[in-house]
Structure 1
């Protein structure tokens, strides 16, 4: 983006202070307001406020994000509410003020950290997402083995998907990849995510679609899983992998659930992958 002539509207910012539970969010700023109240004070070390929260020093900020959208906050909130109503979901968890921050163009680095080295391993997170998307292609090769006496690898449930994905992730990533990583969070086996990559802050939850009737079940489990996995202290990205998604009644309804969530003071990205 050319910051010599930036868009006048609509700019959004979220800030989380270390030790505080919730994010402070401000929406629909003009660029002049954003520059005067947030960007300039940040870059010059001056005290500033975001939605009533006083930021005395950048050192006290645990997370900050600035995005630009073509529409105001109300537009994204209304569209989200319409999708939830159409899917018959009662969504009380999503903070509508955060929607423009997940759907807009992220310009935090350009405005606040230009010239500094990026700390998060985003390329590796994107690789995880891509491997999830391409998993059916790998499965098809193993399902039809031409060599005599070699058994086919068939995928018929979540466990088959998990095993294949786990093997692929270990081949590509230098980080530790674990299965069932959450016994300390809730204690019960049903509360464990399928795969975790702690260094990346990534959890992968695998769902297998047996037929169109699974649509309702998966929606219900999605809402429950968000609340559960938000308790994992390392969580930055939850990948919700739905395998055999072609059998869903309405797969697009799940894709629209990809967003930034904030639950219990934990803010994380949700990436729904249909495979």
Structure 2
């Protein structure tokens, strides 16, 4: 039999995690999307908001829907009015934010790695030991949402040389760069490499956005949020997003 975890949601209805207890590293006091305070209990009856249903050995990549009423007392959650307004506009077409979708996928990557370690009767699994393992697993997950994924695409020459990017989403004009920390690849080196990468990828004809995913399972980066803030950038014709996962070591 499985069990329900708890989800954490901001007062505007943005879910931060549906594995509040099982993966505490994803908790946030304030919403990364809108800055509102987050809660994991009903303000009316103090019961926890039901989250992911977990069964050992079974992997489910979907997110738990954010409820609009408390299942224990029936009271409206603070975000219910906003949800109802959105429902009233369901006739309007909604465009997919592919950049945000990639961020959501990568933000849950560590959960996927942890789940893969739990296999029925100890069957063989993918062990994420190095950067190539990260690329292989992420490539597989991206196929759920994207049709045209071009691995190891060559970039045009920059500063006398050229290199390959990890993934090019040609239709979405997004390049995904993947790195995994190790003893010789920590804060300073990661920062330097990503700065060079960002300049190089600006010259790629199919790149309008660069997503840099840094997998740091051993917590080798001392200030992940600071590094993200230093490198994130957005202007009229180019955007860079750096995401370090997991945090909270």
Which band: TM-score by shorter chain? 0.5 to 0.7
Structure 1 match to 2:171:
199
User: What's the CA shift for 1:143?
Assistant: 2.1
Structure 2 match to 1:252:
225
* Residue aligned with 2:153, SS: coil
Structure 2 match to 1:224:
196
- Bigger radius of gyration: 1
After the TM superposition, list the runs of 4 or more consecutive aligned residues in structure 1 that deviate by more than 4 angstroms. 187-190
Structure 1 match to 2:84:
none
* Residue aligned with 2:113, SS: helix
Point out where structure 1 has 5 or more consecutive residues left out of the alignment. Answer: 1-116
User: What's the CA shift for 1:142?
Assistant: 1.0
Structure 1 match to 2:244:
274
Do 1:213 and 1:249's aligned partners in 2 also have CA atoms closer than 8 Å? no
* Residue aligned with 2:148, SS: coil
Do 1:206 and 1:241's aligned partners in 2 also have CA atoms closer than 8 Å? yes
Q: Aligned pair count? A: 151
Q: Could you tell me how far apart the structure 2 residues matched to 1:261 and 1:220 are?
A: 21
Q: Alpha-carbon deviations, 1:170-194, whole Å to 9, x = none?
A: 1222x301101125x2399971110
Of 167, 176, 192 in structure 1, the residue corresponding to residue 140 of structure 2 is: 167
Q: Could you tell me how far apart the structure 1 residues matched to 2:98 and 2:234 are?
A: 19
* Residue aligned with 2:238, SS: strand
Residue 125 of structure 2 corresponds to residue 152 of structure 1? yes
The 1:124/1:223 distance shift into structure 2, 3 A limit, reads closer
Q: Alpha-carbon deviations, 1:237-271, whole Å to 9, x = none?
A: 10010101622122122210211158xxxx31111
Do 1:211 and 1:248's aligned partners in 2 also have CA atoms closer than 8 Å? no
- TM norm structure 1: 0.50
Q: Could you tell me how far apart the structure 2 residues matched to 1:157 and 1:274 are?
A: 16
Q: Could you tell me how far apart the structure 2 residues matched to 1:205 and 1:126 are?
A: 15
Residue 108 of structure 2 corresponds to residue 134 of structure 1? yes
Of 181, 186, 209 in structure 1, the residue corresponding to residue 157 of structure 2 is: 186
User: What's the CA shift for 1:124?
Assistant: 2.5
* Residue aligned with 2:108, SS: helix
Structure 2 match to 1:243:
215
Point out where structure 2 has 5 or more consecutive residues left out of the alignment. Answer: 1-91
User: What's the CA shift for 1:156?
Assistant: 1.4
